[in-house]
Structure 1
Amino acid sequence: MTPDRRRLLIGAAAAGLAGPAFGRDPADLVLTGRLVQGGFVMGRTWPRALIFVDGEALTTASASGHFVVGFDRDAPGSVSFESRAGRRSQRRTLPIVTGTFPSSRINGLPPSTVSPTDPALLERIAREVALKTEGFASRIDTDDFRSGFDWPLQTYRVTSHWGAQRVLNGTPARPHYGIDLAAPQGSPIRAPADGVVTLAQPAMHFEGGLTLIDHGQGLISAYLHQSRIDVLPTQRISRGQIIGAVGMTGRATGPHLCWRLRWRDRQINPALLVGYSAPETGY
């Protein structure tokens, strides 16, 4: 285990984010996860139950009763869950720990990848935004997230942590919603969990070679700056399968993989799902 990997996992455990399920009675709504900004909850309830988050119906449990909910970087200090199936319902309220996010500076980027102004380039970026929006809109009816995630690279060095406030060429930018894993050019990228490819697009302006994988219920992982893409849209892939290779395409100054994860419209930290698994099946 690399020092960076050990620090990521030990830090989460030290914050009290890893532990047994919350709610153990067989009739309960059972929840477990990493209760921190950028974290998640995996739950088990009645099959196909409707899941409300802070009073809003956001997702539906799978045929086995499993579901996942993500918390973004600015998540509030608590979140309430309600599971409804017919006349049955269960409720839980859980605290969310405030995250600590560093700052990150990157210099030497081509100006067109920081503040583009060329009309033709802006038109291209708009087309690519439409492609990404469609890929992230996927809601595959599976629960492939249940067994947690592996790291997508076998050997790497973390060069930028999730949630870092970025300064690009001296200009403040939006937070970095990925983990940058530096690795040699051409290193194989492996799927961290089963899923379905929703986008496999080379030569995106910002992301370079980009792949999106839906792991169920809109939990979608992203792989940026690839030198090679080995999968196709709609392809069903398995955990550990090679999906592409590390590169430095798009907005990048060296070979690395930017690994991202989104649950619906919420950006979450993929490292927190490594080694985690959903509550065991019930009902």
Structure 2
Amino acid sequence: MIAFAALATCTATPPQASTPARSASVPVEPPAITPAPARSTTAQVESMRPDFWFSTPAIQGGLVTARAPSGARAVLFNGAELPLTAEGFFLIGFDRDAENSASLVALFSDGQRKEHYLPVAPGNWKIEHVAANPTGGAKTTEEFQARRGPELARINAARATRVASDGWRQNFIRPVAGRISGLFGAQRIYNGTPGSYHSGMDIAAAAGTPFVAPADGVVTLAAAEDVFTLEGHLLMIDHGMGLNSAFLHCSELLVREGDVVKQGQVIGKVGATGRASGPHLHWGMKWNSARIDPRLVISAVSPSGNGP
């Protein structure tokens, strides 16, 4: 489990919110269906924030909750404008292969701008050997190529969907208890054939074990009838603000596309469909186009003085 101390560049009282706050530490095996405690709803007046605030240091594969300086009308991240909440909060994520720094610019109505360069720490990636067919459920390369195009089209369409959800504000919980059997970012070798890096966190559990939603969201893809070549029965949930979760290799899905799910709700069962060497749950996360390490999300710190 990875956790960081918060970096606060200013002092502010917490904004009013009704969603759970992120805790300062997460047990190695937290109860899979226990939601985070609710935040205080006491109204408080915030002080002026002269600079950006960040919940955690930036690292490859990491997700950061940030807050713009007071009065900012927009924020640019590496040149792209990001959505802001009314309180000035926004999310930024860093891909496994992100550059070693990122640019943030706050824009103000009077024409002024405030620039900030954020250092991005490197990840520590492993090599993992997996006893599985490189083409997963496809028996030949030709079959894999024929099936993979339509599968990717469905996945990309689901990720392009934008929903209204405050799940991103919550303290994410593990969807199922179990041993972490595969690490995000590790270089994968399938039966001696090098593959792409591992895009999520694998949690070993018996086939048929129920798993839950790590945070609130909306189901954008539920391949209950189809078995994707690599992902098997695939479930995807959008948590809002460009953040989504994907659950792979399921034996059964218990929700449908368009369903609104709550943190801790049972949404599927662990399996070994698709490219899998045994029963486990692969939990992958993306923020826009950046792949995120779920371990860093469930151990992220959102201090009570500034967090959403």
Class of the TM-score when normalised by the shorter of the 2 chains: 0.7 to 0.9
Cα distance change on mapping 1:115 and 1:38 into 2, 3 Å: farther
2:293 aligns with: 269
> Which residue of structure 1 lines up, in the alignment, with residue 188 of structure 2?
166
Aligned mate of 2:107, from 84, 97, 120: 84
Residue type of the partner of 2:190? L
> Aligned residues, how many?
267
Q: Say if 2:56 is the partner of 1:33.
A: yes
Partners of 2:259 and 2:135 in 1: how far apart?
A: 35
Secondary structure of 1:192's match?
coil
Counterpart residue number, 2:8: 21
Residue of structure 2 equivalent to 1:65: 88
- 1:183 aligned to which of 201, 205, 208: 205
**2:89 maps to 1:102:** no
For the structure 1 residues 281 and 85, does the alpha-carbon distance in structure 2 shift closer, same or farther, using more than 3 Å as the test?
Answer: farther
CA distance in 2, matches of 1:246, 1:53: 37
Q: What is the CA distance between 1:238 and its match in structure 2?
A: 0.8
Say whether residues 1:123 and 2:146 are aligned partners: yes
| Secondary structure at the counterpart of residue 96 of structure 1 | strand
Structure 2: stretches of 5+ with no match in the other structure = 13-47
Of 144, 149, 171, the residue aligned with 2:172 is 149
Instruction: Tell me: CA distance 1:74–1:29, structure 2 relative to 1, closer, same or farther (3 Å).
Output: same
Larger deviation: 123-132 or 172-181? 123-132
2:181 paired with 1:194: no
Q: Deviations over 1:73-99 (max 9, x none)?
A: 111222221233533644322211111
Selected match of 1:139 from 148, 158, 162: 162
- In structure 2, what is the equivalent of residue 211 of structure 1? 235
Correspondence list, 1:220-259, <5 A? 220-259=244-283
Query: Contact conserved, 1:146 with 1:278, CA < 8 A, in 2?
Result: no
The ranges of structure 1 where at least 4 consecutive aligned residues each deviate by more than 6 angstroms after the TM superposition are: none
- TM, length-normalised to structure 2: 0.79
Larger RCO, structures 1/2 (Cα 8 Å, 6+ apart)? 2
Task: Provide the residue aligned with 2:36 in structure 1.
Answer: none
Q: Deviations over 1:60-118 (max 9, x none)?
A: 11234321110011112222212335336443222111111000111243755488423
Query: Which residue number in structure 1 is paired with residue 26 of structure 2?
Result: none
Contact 1:49 1:60 in 2 (8 A): no
Q: Distance in 2 between matches of 1:57 and 1:264?
A: 11
Q: Which amino acid aligns with 1:109?
A: N
Distance 1:150 1:176, change over 3 A: same
Residue 270 to residue 85, structure 1, CA distance change in 2 (3 Å): farther
Please give the per-residue CA displacement for 1:222-278, whole angstroms capped at 9, x wherever unaligned. 100011111111211111111101011111121100010001111110110114355
Percent sequence identity is 36
CA distance 1:254–1:43, change in 2 (3 Å):
same
Does residue 42 in structure 1 map to residue 65 in structure 2?
yes
1:260 aligns with 2:284: yes
Unaligned 5+ runs, structure 1: 1-7
Distance 1:275 1:99 in 2: 16
Match of 2:45 in 1: none
Which is worse superposed, 77-86 or 206-215?
77-86
Partners of 1:144 and 1:114 lie apart in 2 by 35
For the aligned residue pairs, the C-alpha RMSD in angstroms reads 2.5
CA deviations 1:194-218 (Å, max 9, x no partner) are 1111111132221011111111121
* 1:133-162 Cα deviation digits (max 9, x unpaired): 101112324442112311111x21111111
Aligned-partner Cα distance in 1 for 2:104–2:202: 32
